[in-house]
């Protein structure tokens, strides 16, 4: 019963460094999402995917890239990290567009110094 798994859980980056967050789901879900959570802001959608090989921009896509080469994985990349990208990142998945069946990962804490 792994559900949605995010790696790494914690990471500290220097400004300008690059990194990739990996999200994996074992529920055969079509839709996957990346959100960021900032204090007092709730969750904001970065990018999402409605199926293998597809990606789309969400509310705050700038500075991030994503790929969905395999159905079970959704990667979030930071090419040149900035302190403004210090946040908690949540991956989520759902079997379709029905948001009442969306499952979240446990979060990845990223600090950019």
Partner 1 sequence: GNSVTQMEGPVTLSEEAFLTINCTYTATGYPSLFWYVQYPGEGLQLLLKATKADDKGSNKGFEATYRKETTSFHLEKGSVQVSDSAVYFCALSENRGSTLGRLYFGRGTQLTVWP
31 touches partner 1 (CB under 8 A): yes
Element at 78 (helix H, strand E): strand 73-78
Alpha helices in 1-113 (DSSP H): none
Q: For the window 38-57, what string marks contact with partner 1 as x by the rule CB under 8 A?
A: --xxxxxx--x-x-------
Q: Shortest approach of partner 1 to residue 39 CB, angstroms?
A: 9
Q: How many residues bind partner 1 (CB under 8 A)?
A: 25
Residues that bind partner 1 (CB under 8 A): 4, 31, 33, 40-45, 48, 50, 58, 90, 92, 94, 96-100, 102, 104-107
């Amino acid at each position: 019963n792994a559900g949605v798994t995010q790696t790494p859980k914690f990471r500290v980056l220097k400004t300008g460094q690059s990194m990739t967050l990996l999200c994996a789901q074992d529920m055969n879900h079509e839709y996957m999402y990346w959100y960021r959570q900032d204090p007092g802001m709730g969750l904001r959608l970065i990018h999402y995917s409605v199926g293998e090989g597809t990606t789309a921009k969400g509310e705050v896509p700038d500075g991030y890239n994503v790929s969905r080469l395999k159905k079970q994985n959704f990667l979030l990349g930071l090419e040149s990290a900035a302190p403004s990208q210090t946040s908690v990142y949540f991956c989520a998945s759902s079997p379709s567009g029905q948001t009442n069946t969306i499952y979240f990962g446990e979060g990845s804490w990223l600090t950019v110094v």
